[in-house]
């Protein structure tokens, strides 16, 4: 096996490479945790080396936990939804999620053969915290997503245990999120380079609602020649350099994405938002192969649907469908950047049978970006949208003279399915 010499510099996130990553600004941490109340935690399992011995290792896997509502999601549920671009994968609990439009458990990410163990671990955790489950409360179906990490991990050994689930949940916190070879992403590969966990966020200007949106991915898909980095055909250039490095050949891989936003969305709107995640995945080079699983789970933190109430109805804030377009653009941008963050932050890894996954060579990406920088510089940048005046009033429906850009257009200026002129 021929290995490319590793770079000596530190791994950095995609934005630090100067890539063109969209027009909306990220949040404070550029992570799904920029959405208030969302927590993320990991449990990483790395053990052994050498030949595969099923049940003994080597082990390169783990668990990642996303906790909405500061972890109080069982009693104070939220609107949820999802989308399946290609279904050669699994997210347990998805059927109920799509039927009810509710998120009521933490969301866990792990390897394919560990879905049952992780689901059992979440169930045990919730039953201990809420002993009335199955009696005074309804039963639960935890939301657990998976990808196949068998290129690097003893996947059939089923090394994920309840203690790893609890570790991921108990470690969940706000703030910066660890990326790359951590948690459920420990053994994942993207476009023949090391992949894993990545995240990104976008903060809309006040004139577009001021909402925050975040995406977290467990990225494990694709082939090198399809890789696009910031829209640049980097993969086609790197194929020649890595032509003598063995790649996984039996599996195209998969990706699980989780979307969170504080925009007040109903379930059908979250479903539509999740569809646009597929566009962000495609930007990096996925064509959603026959054996691939591109599955997206989403939720909105804007409305709480209480498990216990004496009321007959509850009131919700709802964003007009005509106002969704900026969120569609933002989720596409954040998805692309989250995948690239997973690759940029991932370290090279050797796993079972000395299978080797190189890290994306950041120096090569920098050279490619620098060569294209004159093209970027020649593109006239649009001025950023101004914020709403101090009164914080939303745009009125009055006509405005002069040019009206798409991003600032009022609903009455856009033809919609509702027949608005």
What six digits make up the tokens of 284? 């990096």
- Say how far apart CA 23 and CA 379 lie, in whole Å: 13
CB 182 within 8 A of CB 62: yes
Going by pLDDT thresholds of 50, 70 and 90, the confidence category of residue 179 is very high
For residue 387, count CB atoms less than 10 angstroms from its CB and return exposed for 0-12, middle for 13-18, buried for 19 or more. exposed
> What pLDDT, on the 0 to 100 scale, is given for residue 9?
79
User: What pLDDT score does 5 carry?
Assistant: 60
- Enter the tokens of residue 401: 């003279």
Residues 252 and 293 sit within 8 Å (Cβ to Cβ): no
Instruction: Give the pLDDT score at 404.
Output: 42
Q: Looking at residues 158-172, what average pLDDT do you find? A: 98
pLDDT-based confidence at residue 378 (cuts at 50, 70, 90): low
List of residues 6+ apart from 366 with CB closer than 8 A: 17, 18
**pLDDT for 297-309, tens place per residue?**
999 999 999 998 8
* Residue of 174, 292, 300, 357 marked active site: 292
Query: Mean per-residue pLDDT for 99-104?
Result: 97
Class of domain 25-307+318-378: alpha beta
Q: Give the mean pLDDT of the chain.
A: 90
Length of the chain (residues): 421
Q: Which of 163, 132, 142 is nearest to 62 (CA)?
A: 163
| Dist CA 102 CA 172 (whole Å) | 21
Mark whether 254 is an active-site residue: yes
Position 8 scores a pLDDT of: 64
d(CA 381, CA 229): 20
User: Average of pLDDT values for 108-135?
Assistant: 97
- Where are the domains positioned within the chain? 25-307+318-378
State the catalytic residue, choosing from 254, 267, 286, 300. Answer: 254
Percent of the chain with pLDDT over 70: 87
Interval 309-340: pLDDT, tens: 888 888 999 999 999 999 999 999 999 999 99
Q: Which of 146, 167, 294, 333 is catalytic?
A: 294
Task: Indicate if 206 belongs to the active site.
Answer: no
In degrees, rounded to 5, the angle at the alpha carbon of residue 386 between the alpha carbons of residues 382 and 389 is 170
Q: What is the pLDDT at residue 176?
A: 98
The helix/strand count (H/E) of the chain reads as 7, 15
Measure the CA–CA gap between 186 and 168, rounded to whole angstroms: 13
Averaged pLDDT, 17-23: 93
Please confirm, yes or no, whether 292 is among the known catalytic residues: yes
Q: Is 249 exposed, middle or buried (0-12, 13-18, 19+ CB in 10 A)?
A: exposed
| List of E strands, 30-154 | 39-47, 59-67, 76-87, 91-92, 102-103, 107-111, 143-147
Residue 311: the pLDDT is 85
Q: Write down the pLDDT at residue 385.
A: 46
Q: How confident is the model at residue 408 (pLDDT cuts 50, 70, 90)?
A: low
Q: Return the pLDDT at 251.
A: 85
Q: Which of 277, 293, 275, 280 lies closest to 221, judged by CA?
A: 293
**131-154 confidence digits (pLDDT tens):** 999 999 999 999 999 999 999 999
């Amino acid at each position: 096996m021929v290995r490319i010499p590793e770079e000596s510099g530190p791994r950095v996130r995609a934005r630090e490479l100067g890539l063109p990553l969209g027009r909306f600004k990220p949040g404070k941490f550029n992570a799904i945790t920029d959405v208030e109340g969302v927590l993320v935690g990991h449990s990483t399992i790395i053990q052994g080396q050498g030949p595969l011995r099923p049940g003994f290792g080597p082990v390169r896997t783990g668990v990642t936990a996303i906790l909405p509502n500061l972890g109080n999601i069982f009693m104070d549920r939220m609107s949820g939804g999802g989308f399946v671009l290609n279904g050669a994968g699994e997210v347990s609990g998805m059927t109920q999620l799509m039927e009810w439009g509710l998120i009521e458990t933490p969301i866990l990410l792990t390897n394919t053969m560990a879905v049952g163990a992780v689901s059992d671990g979440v169930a045990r955790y919730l039953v201990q915290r809420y002993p009335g489950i199955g009696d005074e409360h309804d039963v639960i179906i935890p939301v657990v997503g998976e990808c196949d990490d068998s290129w690097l991990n003893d996947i059939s050994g089923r090394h994920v245990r309840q203690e790893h689930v609890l570790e991921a949940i108990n470690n969940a916190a706000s703030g910066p999120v660890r990326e790359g070879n951590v948690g459920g992403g420990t053994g994942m590969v993207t476009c023949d380079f090391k992949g894993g966990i990545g995240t990104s966020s976008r903060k809309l200007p006040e004139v577009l609602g001021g909402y925050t949106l975040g995406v977290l991915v467990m990225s494990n898909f694709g082939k090198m020649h399809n890789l696009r980095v910031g829209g640049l055909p980097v993969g086609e250039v790197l194929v020649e350099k890595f032509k003598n490095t063995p790649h996984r050949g039996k599996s195209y891989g998969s990706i699980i994405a989780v979307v969170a936003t504080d925009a007040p969305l109903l379930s059908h709107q979250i479903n539509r938002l999740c569809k646009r995640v597929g566009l962000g995945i495609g930007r990096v080079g996925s064509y959603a192969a026959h054996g691939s699983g591109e599955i997206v789970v989403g939720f909105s933190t804007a409305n709480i649907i209480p498990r216990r109430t004496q009321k007959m109805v509850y009131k919700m804030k709802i964003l007009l469908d005509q106002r969704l377009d900026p969120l569609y653009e933002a989720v596409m941008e954040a998805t692309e950047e989250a995948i690239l963050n997973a690759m940029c932050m991932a370290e090279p890894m050797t796993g079972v049978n000395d299978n080797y996954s190189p890290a994306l060579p950041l120096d090569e990406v920098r050279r490619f970006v620098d060569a294209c920088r004159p093209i970027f510089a020649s593109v006239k940048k649009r001025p950023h949208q101004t914020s709403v005046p101090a009164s914080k009033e939303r745009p009125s429906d009055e006509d405005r003279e002069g040019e009206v850009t798409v991003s600032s257009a009022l609903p009455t200026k856009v033809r919609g399915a509702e027949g608005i002129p």
